[in-house]
């Protein structure tokens, strides 16, 4: 993420203003250039209480706020960053609203860096994923959950209720002990799926092409990169410059 931001931030001679969507420690504690002020925003007070840790090297703070209505004046941020923030929104319209708000607070030609979760253009079915798991094609249980989520995020809404992931998993794998023996995944890891059982939250996972249609009116894509972990190709970090 810093790779695409660094050239732009290095050009600034004044104290750099960065807004972080969410309080993800790995984002807040990036090696920001100095002088910089990092301001994090999350809608959940509970998240701030449990997760927020200030960056010990730079000025940083956090407050409760919706990403659709950030408490910031127009054109005051040099950069906005976030990890998976569009994924946790309830629909494509909410994604658009957040991007409009980010564009409002960014300075002209400011940078937006987001790690996004995108479903593949060639979608797979829930049944495909079950076969892949039993044949050893899925390395970790987290990857299984992510693939199920993406399979359920179907066009045209590309959104799903989190409890649907639990339902799909239960239909595919009624015998968790057998799944554990077949894959080598610990039962403790498999049982984490139960946190989804009664969740009513909706998440959104469009294809990259659909997502690009949403950002295109406001941003130009400058760079796209991936990590080296399982499903990294579905989790690109996008570096976008405000138009």
Domain segments of the chain: what residues? 2-118+207-242, 126-204
Q: At what angle do helices 208-215 and 92-105 cross, to 10 degrees?
A: 40
The pLDDT value recorded for residue 33 is: 84
Q: How far apart are CA 36 and CA 58, in angstroms?
A: 6
The pLDDT value recorded for residue 13 is: 67
The CATH number for 2-118+207-242, chosen from 3.40.50.150, 2.60.120.620, 3.40.50.300, 3.30.1490.100, is 3.40.50.150
For the chain of 243 residues, list the mean pLDDT of each consecutive stretch of 10.
74 84 95 91 95 94 97 96 96 97 96 96 93 96 97 96 98 97 97 96 97 96 93 96 93
N-terminal to C-terminal alpha carbon distance within the chain: 20
The pLDDT value recorded for residue 239 is: 95
């Amino acid at each position: 993420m810093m790779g695409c931001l660094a050239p732009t931030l290095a050009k600034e001679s004044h104290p750099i203003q960065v807004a972080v969507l969410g309080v993800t420690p790995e984002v807040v504690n990036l090696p920001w250039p100095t002088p910089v002020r990092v301001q994090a925003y999350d809608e959940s007070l509970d998240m701030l209480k449990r997760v927020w840790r200030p960056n010990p090297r730079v000025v940083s703070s956090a407050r409760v706020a919706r990403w659709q209505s950030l408490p910031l004046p127009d054109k005051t941020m040099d950069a906005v960053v976030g990890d998976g923030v569009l994924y946790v929104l309830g629909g494509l319209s909410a994604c658009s609203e957040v991007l409009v708000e980010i564009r409002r607070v960014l300075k002209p030609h400011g940078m937006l860096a987001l790690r996004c979760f995108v479903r593949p253009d060639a979608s797979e079915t829930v049944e495909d994923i079950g076969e892949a798991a039993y044949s050893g094609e899925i390395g970790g249980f987290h990857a299984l959950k992510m693939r199920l989520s993406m399979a359920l995020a179907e066009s045209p809404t590309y959104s799903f209720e989190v409890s649907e992931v639990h339902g799909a998993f239960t239909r595919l794998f009624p015998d968790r002990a057998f799944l554990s023996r077949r894959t080598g995944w610990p039962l403790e890891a498999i049982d984490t799926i139960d946190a989804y059982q009664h969740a009513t939250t909706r998440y959104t996972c469009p294809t990259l092409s659909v997502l690009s249609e949403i950002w295109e009116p406001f941003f130009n894509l400058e760079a796209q990169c991936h990590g080296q972990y399982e499903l990294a190709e579905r989790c690109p970090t996008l570096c976008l410059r405000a138009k």
